[in-house]
Structure 1
């Protein structure tokens, strides 16, 4: 049986050519790997020195971490470019930069959102619109800022859930920083009956808030008769307290309790909503007593 050895010869020649080429470039590859080890050590050394320098500044920890990451990325980018030219001597810096220029267009289109969040993270860290521990709200999402990275901001909601919010959302939308100031104004509505004296009701409510420890006594408590409601005269009661959510809830709890107690002790009615029902025809009411006539009706208007 005749065996055609031409394909086997071609495969053998290709393997020999590949082996010869690999052996020829092996010193360059080893040199490139060795250079990357040097880059790794240099990155560690530069990171250590940079950390010591930043430790003497008053920058926020999140901004320090972001700057360290940028320095590390720059060192590795520069090192990889040099390693590529060492491994492939025919690859000149001009050709490499030209290739990166063409490839960056495709990479930019593919990773547009990532780069957008990355740049937004840098701008947020530099502008310092919020701090770790602040309570913020954006696009209906609220929580405590736990961590700010170059891509995401970590928010811990009051129910314990952790939200990873892309930095571009924070940068492009209006953000409410609730704890930017340590004080916040809180408002509730208190209603008294129409038969009560409005001035006396205002005085009683104001006295109820006077000695509460959750009400900032250095700022005025404001009480305004606001509206004629369906069954009450409504007061708008405003005071200042701590800006954190738990402080606001605790203050509201004590204020509502104190106002209710004070109005009750003063004999001032907090009315329930009244409803007046009108019937077209007389409404027949049946008595539970067997001695009464069940057919007797009572007319209601």
Structure 2
């Protein structure tokens, strides 16, 4: 005490001790409020845990996707902690009203929103995609030049595995703002093939042969919709038929069924004696081409 008295000027020690004493009294007086605020925080944590369990059970019974359950749990956590934090803040600092706290929080949120605009845009787009479910995991989609199978949908981005094995991570905002083609939205998809026959062949006979050949293919789903074979156009060296049929919606299903249809149609047309012509070219010259005889010694050379 003597050393402190020597360091502090005369008359200044008493106000300093009074100030420290006031701080201690204020802290002691605030202990009940701190205890209540701590209880509010613990109750908030318990409520969050209970809400997560309820959402998990409801999601499992409703067969919701895991990512959608995570989103609902995240939203419940943010809601409970926001309410619990405001209550605890007003308990510790009685002069801070919930309206004033929300105003301060709103101003801070605006500043943070401008700083992380793209991040929040992808976050909100991810929530809307998971809630609306325009496509699901394992669907094949096409969007802005990216085509492949969806492997994961997170809050921020979507993982798409292309058919060549490469992984593309697409921000959710891109999928939300741009048109997305979901190729596997249904179990079947239509495939198209163009086949030409010679001009000398009978069109009706060729149509019947082609249709019968397509029906023999195992991957063709004629039980869903009927096969269609139409004479489409007069080609350069053939009459072109447009062949359409339904098969599986995956890209490998389209390629495999087209392979079998081409082989079946080719074999059927060959068996029926219907020609699939090669392109013909006719050359016309304005003047006769002189032809000179070749002597034997030149021919040997």
TM-score range (shorter-chain normalised) is 0.7 to 0.9
**Runs of at least 5 residues in structure 2 that lack an aligned partner in the other structure:** 1-7, 9-15
Which of 224, 232, 242 does residue 230 from structure 2 map onto?
Answer: 224
Kindly state the Cα deviation for residue 122 of structure 1 after the two structures are TM-superposed. Answer: 2.3
Relative to 1, partners in 2 of residues 1:292 and 1:104: Cα closer, same or farther, differing over 3 Å? same
Counterparts of 1:33-72 in structure 2 under 5 Å?
A: 39-40=44-45, 42-72=47-77
In the other structure, the counterpart of 1:258 is: 264
Does 1:150 pair with 2:155? yes
Relative to 1, partners in 2 of residues 1:259 and 1:106: Cα closer, same or farther, differing over 3 Å? same
Kindly state the Cα deviation for residue 213 of structure 1 after the two structures are TM-superposed. Answer: 0.8
Kept in 1, the 8 Å contact 2:55–2:72? The answer is no
Kindly state the Cα deviation for residue 275 of structure 1 after the two structures are TM-superposed. Answer: 2.9
In the other structure, the counterpart of 2:253 is: 247
Deviations 1:146-168 (A, max 9, x none): 22223222222212222222222
Kept in 2, the 8 Å contact 1:66–1:149? The answer is no
* Worse-matched range after superposition: 254-263 or 141-150: 141-150
Q: Distance in 2 between matches of 1:25 and 1:236?
A: 87
Kindly state the Cα deviation for residue 196 of structure 1 after the two structures are TM-superposed. Answer: 2.2
* Worse-matched range after superposition: 36-45 or 191-200: 36-45
Kindly state the Cα deviation for residue 49 of structure 1 after the two structures are TM-superposed. Answer: 3.3
Q: Distance in 1 between matches of 2:295 and 2:43?
A: 100
Q: Distance in 1 between matches of 2:64 and 2:280?
A: 60
Kindly state the Cα deviation for residue 99 of structure 1 after the two structures are TM-superposed. Answer: 2.0
In the other structure, the counterpart of 1:6 is: none
**Runs of at least 5 residues in structure 1 that lack an aligned partner in the other structure:** 1-8, 10-15, 295-301
Kindly state the Cα deviation for residue 55 of structure 1 after the two structures are TM-superposed. Answer: 2.2
Kindly state the Cα deviation for residue 286 of structure 1 after the two structures are TM-superposed. Answer: 9.8
Kindly state the Cα deviation for residue 289 of structure 1 after the two structures are TM-superposed. Answer: 6.1
Kept in 2, the 8 Å contact 1:25–1:87? The answer is no
Kept in 2, the 8 Å contact 1:130–1:180? The answer is yes
Does 1:272 pair with 2:278? yes
Kindly state the Cα deviation for residue 212 of structure 1 after the two structures are TM-superposed. Answer: 1.2
Q: Distance in 1 between matches of 2:133 and 2:292?
A: 72
Counterparts of 1:286-301 in structure 2 under 5 Å?
A: 290-292=297-299
Give the alignment's TM-score, normalised by structure 1.
0.76
SS at match of 1:71: helix
* Worse-matched range after superposition: 66-75 or 82-91: 82-91
In the other structure, the counterpart of 1:124 is: 129
Relative to 1, partners in 2 of residues 1:46 and 1:194: Cα closer, same or farther, differing over 3 Å? same
Q: Distance in 1 between matches of 2:300 and 2:56?
A: 96
SS at match of 1:143: strand
RMSD of Structure 2 on Structure 1 (CA): 3.7
Give the alignment's TM-score, normalised by structure 2.
0.76
